Amino acid sequence: MKVLVLGATGATGRHVVHMLLQQQHHVVALVRNTETLSALDTEFGNQLTQIKGTALTLSDSQLSSLIAEADGVVTCLGHNLTLKGVYGAPRMLVRDSIKRIVNLTSAVRANPLKIVLMNSSGVRNKDQHEPISFMQHLVIGLIRALLPPHRDNEQAADYLRTLDVSKTQLQWTIVRPDALIDQDENEEYDLYPAPIRSAIFDSGQVSRINVARVMSRLLIDPELWHHWQGRMPVVYNSA
Ligand SMILES: NC(=O)c1ccc[n+]([C@@H]2O[C@H](COP(=O)([O-])OP(=O)(O)OC[C@H]3O[C@@H](n4cnc5c(N)ncnc54)[C@H](OP(=O)(O)O)[C@@H]3O)[C@@H](O)[C@H]2O)c1
């Protein structure tokens, strides 16, 4: 399988790339800096292709040919937690990267491209009943107003969720992790169709490595894909 990875140099993206390579898949990583993945480059040789550029900076023809050749796309994009990363351009990094890929997909694909998007448990799936308290509503409203990255995650999810996939060559799953932690042990994880706790007042945890496991397994395992395709699973480390 050939997988195009966006946000491949990030804390979660690096795990995704490593896992896919370990399982003999070919990874095409869009990167801003080729140093971050240099150890994996050395270890896995021509299984890993690094392309310097982003989904927002590559030309239409460059991105189209990557989309045409890929079996799947994983996006682990996230804003750098600096003033520039949070408030500078591109404000809608995640949404606009996904949009660009979707817009180019139909023209170059005869079969559907699978996209797995890393999002957040603080983003609601408006296609189903996901009740939240008045206080959470208020706090999320404030976060939405003050922090563009949350707005970006919401809009990226809404964009895919409301897409008429019958008119595209695309299938999607949006993975919503609860609070991310770094942990290397082999903890179990659980997937739920909706949050089972408040993302603001009672958040759980999930390791980035488990998020990477979920995202790569979705692409690799057709049964798992069939189950979650077009849905927004929430992932927590098992209690
Ligand atoms: N923190 C939490 O508890 C939490 C919980 C749930 C969900 N999330 C979401 O999880 C996602 C990823 O988390 P993470 O911790 O793995 O992220 P991360 O380590 O910050 O990685 C972000 C990735 O996005 C890339 N990136 C940043 N700005 C970019 C730009 N302008 N153009 C192109 N690429 C850009 C980074 O590239 P460089 O390496 O070049 O900077 C990096 O590869 C985020 O969307 C976040 O909102 C976070």
What tens digit of pLDDT does each residue of 62-111 get? 999 999 999 999 999 999 999 999 999 999 999 999 999 999 998 999 99
What atom of ligand 1 comes closest to residue 36's alpha carbon?
A: 39
* Superfamily designation of domain 2-237: NAD(P)-binding Rossmann-like Domain (3.40.50.720)
For ligand 1, residues with CB inside 6 Å are: 7, 9-13, 32-33, 36, 54, 76-80, 85, 90, 93, 118, 120, 149, 153, 177, 179-180, 208
Over residues 14-69, the pLDDT tens digits come to 999 999 999 999 999 999 999 999 999 999 989 999 999 999 999 999 999 999 99
Cα 110 to middle of ligand 1, angstroms: 31
pLDDT tens digits, 117-150:
999 999 999 999 999 999 999 999 999 999 999 9
Answer for the pair 49, 72: CB distance below 8 angstroms, yes or no. Answer: no
CA 234 to chain centre: 13
Domains in the chain: boundaries: 2-237
Contact (CB, 8 A) for 34 and 11: no
At 127, which amino acid appears?
D
CA of 151 to the centre of ligand 1 (A): 14
